[in-house]
Amino acid sequence: MIDDRLKLKNKINKVSMVIMDVDGVLTDGRIVYSSKDELKFFDVQDGYGLYLLNKFNINTAIITARKSKIVKRRAKDMHISSVYYTHDKLWAYEKIKDKFNLKDENICYIGDDLLDLPVIKKVGFSVTVPNAFDDIKKEVDYISTKRGGRGAVREIADLILKAKGLRDDVINI
């Protein structure tokens, strides 16, 4: 048990970028259509977690299969470094890795479904949410206690900041 926690902390300490899916991770997975547009629900605590990561020079990126004006807007509001819209998430992952000159071990990926699996298998620290597809849960290093769209990203941000000894610095921002 102690060895497992130490291994996890060592993985987390190498993280300098967090890449995430949107539907089911940054949102609860629901897509609501109105007569004018689609709606997605984002969690304000997740947004603050992304803000904190950026403040501590941990870059963030999105890889999502669904192109959406709402995702583009949220990414801009949260100062997310890169956004890729593709079903080939491994291709986008490699592009991000090259753009930021990172190794697999420097990246945390948060995903919840089969499209995320190729990336989950490559990164240094892989995460999913409790509402994820069961096959994903078997492959990751960590399953958040919070659900997608309900604070999971904030939980992961806090986990990373704590492991790096930065969590107490949050109040001084």
Instruction: Give the domains, in start order, of the chain with CATH numbers.
Output: 2-78+92-166 (3.40.50.1000)
Helix ranges (DSSP H) in the chain:
2-13, 44-55, 69-77, 89-99, 117-120, 134-137, 152-163
Per-residue model confidence (pLDDT) at position 111 = 97
pLDDT tens digits for range 78-89: 999 999 999 999
Beta partners for residue 95, in sequence order: none
pLDDT tens digits for range 101-154: 999 999 999 999 999 999 999 999 999 999 999 999 999 999 999 999 999 999
Residue 171: pLDDT band (50, 70, 90) is low
Per-residue model confidence (pLDDT) at position 94 = 98
CB 123, CB 103: distance < 8 Å: no
Closest CA to 20 of 125, 138, 158: 125
59 pLDDT higher than 70: yes
Cα–Cα distance, 63 to 22 (Å, whole number) = 7
CA dihedral 86, 151, 42, 17 (to 10 degrees): -40
Which residues, including other chains, have CB under 8 Å from residue 172's CB and lie 6 or more apart? none
Q: What tokens does 70 get?
A: 């709402």
Closest CA to 153 of 129, 120, 118: 129
Return left, alpha or beta for 149; rule: phi > 0 is left, psi -120 to 50 is alpha, else beta. left
pLDDT tens digits for range 1-53: 567 888 888 999 999 999 999 999 998 887 777 767 777 888 899 999 999 99
Per-residue model confidence (pLDDT) at position 2 = 63
CB 153, CB 49: distance < 8 Å: yes
